[in-house]
Amino acid sequence: MKTKASFPVAGHRLTVSYAGTTFFGWQRQAGHPSIQEEIEKVLTRIWGQHLTLEGSGRTDTGVHAVGQVASFTAPRKLSAPVLLRALNDHLPMPIRVTQVDFLEPTFHARFDVEAKTYEYRIHNATFSDPFQIDRVWHIPIPLDLAKMEAAAALLRGKHDFAAMASNAGYARTTTVRTVSALDLRKRGASLTVRITADGFLYHMVRNIVGALVKVGKGKLSVEEFRTVFESGKRTLAPASAPAFGLYLMKVAYYPRAVRLVRAKNRRPPQAFDETDDE
């Protein structure tokens, strides 16, 4: 029988889904419930020691996730199916781990990210849906989808997104990001704004959606939207969309060979920008 010390060390990758309504975001905060802290409590129970969980990014208070990713390095104590069951047996119901993977010990949920996809959900109808309270942004005013799509087209590609970034409380190395996909999808009263990029600035998705909705309401023309975006000034941009309509859908990672090279050349954590996100 193997002793605890004889288990091989592995990188553990958890894919996590959660309703963020009752939590103060992903990151651990003294005196406030967080997703990170709830999962770390269960990991401590399983391994008998505190394990620090690294998330792909910090979702804000009220933000939800379908495919958040978190990682930790520890002896490979349980099989993936057994660990998955053990985690979900002890986690509060709004948090579910949907997948467990074992990777190289150097795998890092934050530093090995290649791209992320967020989705913002809007209920565009006269009356709100009582079954979607704290899950979507209800907008009773009809929205001009064609104008919103014209404005959204200006954001695709590599740009400086300073006008769509809230003050994160620290200096950033750059506010340039590459948006590889930005799609608006309307089905009945449901409108979703789905964005994939190589990185996100603080409240970037919510600020983009807030501006697009103002265009859709006819309170901001597409040319005015362009002027605001190209100004690089957050003070000229419309208000941010509320947190509860935002979902982290998917996190994509570099291939293993690339991750191993990046791990060898990795700068100390303090050399990185803070993880902005939402």
Q: pTM of the full predicted structure?
A: 0.92
State how far the Cα of 83 lies from the Cα of 79, in Å rounded to an integer: 6
Q: Which positions ≥6 away from 143 have C-beta within 8 Å?
A: 122, 124, 191, 213, 216, 217
Q: What is the pLDDT of residue 6?
A: 65
Check if 160 is active-site. no
Q: What percent of the chain has pLDDT over 90?
A: 87
The reported pLDDT for the residue numbered 153 is 98
Mean pLDDT value across the chain: 92
| Residue range 70-80: mean pLDDT, rounded | 95
Mean pLDDT (whole number) for 123-143:
95
Q: Is the pLDDT of residue 273 over 50?
A: no
What mean pLDDT is predicted for residues 178-189? 97
Q: Is the pLDDT of residue 228 over 50?
A: yes
Q: Residue 275: is its pLDDT beyond 70?
A: no
- Asked whether the predicted pLDDT for residue 3 surpasses 50, the reply is no
| Calpha distance 249→24 (Å, rounded) | 19
Residue 267: predicted pLDDT: 65
Residue 41: pLDDT over 60: yes
Residue 7: band (very low, low, confident or very high) from pLDDT cuts 50, 70, 90:
confident
Dmax of the chain from CA atoms? Answer: 70
pLDDT at 170: 67
For the cut 70, the answer to whether the pLDDT of residue 265 exceeds it is yes
Which one of 60, 101, 160, 198 is the catalytic residue? 60
